[in-house]
Amino acid sequence: MIEVIQGPNKGNQNKLVEDKVVDNIRDIMYIMRKEENLDKKGIKNDDDELISFNTKIMILLVSLLEGNSD
């Protein structure tokens, strides 16, 4: 998903925004920040996979903004 919006590619960026990707990311991040939700999935807060996931989410969000001046 990151690759198709980088460049920037305004058409793809707009489509993801229209499809509420930011809202979905917000919901996922809210769920993931609760320790008990992580424990249920066997994930520790310092887990490399969690850190990688969060990093990719941030790259996706920054990529959505790339090239937009308004």
Handedness of CA 39, 46, 4, 18 (dihedral sign): positive
Q: Which long-range contacts (CB under 8 A, 24 or more apart) does 21-25 make?
A: 21/60, 21/64, 22/61, 22/64, 25/57, 25/60, 25/61
pTM for this structure? 0.72
Compute the distance between CA of residue 59 and CA of residue 61 in angstroms, rounded to an integer.
Answer: 5
Structure confidence at residue 59 (pLDDT): 92
* Mean predicted lDDT score pLDDT of the chain: 83
At 24 the pLDDT is 92
**Positions of the chain with pLDDT under 70:** 35-37, 44-46, 69-70
26 and 15 in contact (C-beta within 8 Å)? no
Q: How is the chain split into domains, by residue range?
A: 2-64
